[in-house]
Structure 1
């Protein structure tokens, strides 16, 4: 009786032990912790990251926000609309390229980011709470290593 390696390999593949599945589950846990601890701002994690990107990089186009946040173009469009509706960001045409729209933090947006940062730090702490200090350093190092682009 011959052994089919493909068949054996398929039987050895447990989706729940694969990196993508484990990363997704960890991210889902983090998002749940974020929503439970973000407070009255009612920001989503992606909205908060977008506001932080504007705080850190200054006025930005949606394309620049996509690069800064790793959020896809379609999603960033919706986020920008919701943040504008809440008067957390303002939109102005780009003076050099009229086709571009520049997003900027409003005063209330900046205040909200500043008020939310301590909660966000606590959210990170809760997310990593099952890890000891060395595991935390290793986890963050390994995640950065996974996402770093290879240098040419």
Structure 2
């Protein structure tokens, strides 16, 4: 038997099931993401840096020079968006794009010294953003939410 709270149950009415969009998982996830993104924009010291750009920079920092497809895989950002992000970060001289010496067809993306410095400078702010996102959560709630979000993301692999 399903464990759904009464306000989430579809109760028939004259117009069909009673559907409260504000109690649906997609809406709540979107609102939580909007809140987190607003915190990122308020607290991050580089006003030109977006959350997606920061994730790409961190991904490259973590693995070193890598292909765009590796960045797509690691960040879960679609390839067209990653291309645009890389171009913008390249324009800011935070990334360099070059051909792989052993396979000229393969393009490798790596951080410049400026890119590495920016990531190092921004990481403490990223920790603060996460802390503020979790305001009002006790340690068990934080752990539970992260566990459940990871579990929800794992569901993508079986889809």
Q: Same-fold call, TM > 0.5?
A: yes
Task: Give 2:49's aligned residue.
Answer: 43
Which of 10, 13, 18 aligns to 1:12? It is: 18
Runs of 4 or more consecutive aligned structure 1 residues displaced over 6 Å after TM superposition: none
What is the Cα deviation at residue 41 of structure 1? 5.3
Q: Distance in 1 between matches of 2:18 and 2:63?
A: 46
Task: Give 1:3's aligned residue.
Answer: none
Q: Distance in 1 between matches of 2:37 and 2:108?
A: 28
Q: Which runs of 5+ in 2 are unaligned?
A: 1-9
Q: Report 1:109-148 matches (<5 A).
A: 109-148=115-154
Task: Give 1:53's aligned residue.
Answer: 59
Distance of aligned partners of 1:41 and 1:7 in 2 relative to their CA distance in 1, 3 Å threshold? closer
- SS, match of residue 39 in structure 1: coil
Q: Distance in 1 between matches of 2:87 and 2:153?
A: 28
Q: CA RMSD in A?
A: 1.9
Q: TM-score when scaled to structure 2?
A: 0.85
Q: TM-score when scaled to structure 1?
A: 0.88
What is the Cα deviation at residue 130 of structure 1? 2.3
Distance of aligned partners of 1:22 and 1:148 in 2 relative to their CA distance in 1, 3 Å threshold? same
Q: Which runs of 5+ in 1 are unaligned?
A: 1-5
Q: Distance in 2 between matches of 1:70 and 1:130?
A: 28
Aligned length in residues: 146
Which of 90, 94, 99 aligns to 1:88? It is: 94
> Hey, which of these two has a bigger chunk of helix by percent?
1
